[in-house]
Amino acid sequence: LTPVVLELGGKCPVVVDSDTNLQVTAKRIIVGKWGCNSGQTCVAPDYIITTKDYASKLVDALKHDLEQFYGKNPLESEYMSRVVNSNHFSRLTRLLDEDKVSGKIVHGGERDEKTLKIAPTILLDVPRDSLIVNEEIFGPLLPIVIVDKVEDSLDFINSSGGKPLAAYLFTNNKKLKEQFVATVSAGGLVVNDIALHLAVHTLPFGGVGESGMGSYHGKFSFDAFSHKKAVLYRSFAGEAPLRYPPYSKGKLRLMKAIFAGSIFGIISALLGWSKA
């Protein structure tokens, strides 16, 4: 058998706390989502989770920077990638046109089937039972899920039915960072940026559960595809009679004590004191 590493997909969440640098946060989300092949990468943000009170500020910041980066007509921008093929264009259109979702668009939504381009699209407060929340998007659509308090986002991620390949958090709150790292099960975590862990060769990259198994990058790649061969050299000295028949209760007591790591048990067994 040949060793394998499976780096699969998943819905990569972005948690945005109100205690953050909003201007930097918006820019980093944009470049991680739309700047990296219009969301068609395995670690691109799939959806955002934030609070109701903070959502409008985040949307405004995203809108402002999207126009700065891609202009008022992003379909004509040379910096916007197209959707990879017509099948995926149709799939993304289906997600966007679902009845319960189409009215949630707060930015973008324009598309051109001839060029296979879809403008950066933000959807606010999408229903949790919608297709766009439950299927991997892998495209330029970015829904925002609303929670009452930011800590609820961790429960949402863990109850979403799959472990993501990557999960992201933007916050200055030290306690929230610790909760995020301790609570969220994902292939990799990044605090206050998007996808940069891929560029750090001293970090393993890979999935967990539905998002894959094993890891690679740097030394982790070498270890993943190498067989660690065990070799033990012994001398002919140090023979232990308890290894060989005939076996007795005394030998059994001594063996149990050795495996238990009990010095007192070993001494007792050797002296014949133990009744166990």
Q: Could you give the residue numbers annotated as active site?
A: 7, 42
Per DSSP bridges, beta strands 6-7 and 212-213 are antiparallel
Tell me the longest C-alpha to C-alpha distance in the chain: 89
The closest of 82, 83, 79 to 71, measured between CA atoms, is: 79
| CB neighbour list of residue 66: distance below 8 Å, 6 or more residues apart | 30, 34, 74, 107, 108, 120
- 77 Cβ contact partners less than 8 Å away, ≥ 6 residues apart: 70, 71
Q: What is the DSSP letter of 196?
A: G
Q: Note whether 47 and 143 are within 8 A (CB).
A: yes
| Six-digit token string for 128 | 């949790």
Q: What DSSP letter does each residue of 71-95 carry, written as one string?
A: -S-GGG-TTSPPPSSHHHHHHHHHH
* Look-up of token digits 């560029």: 199
CA-angle at 12, arms to 68 and 39, nearest 5°: 40
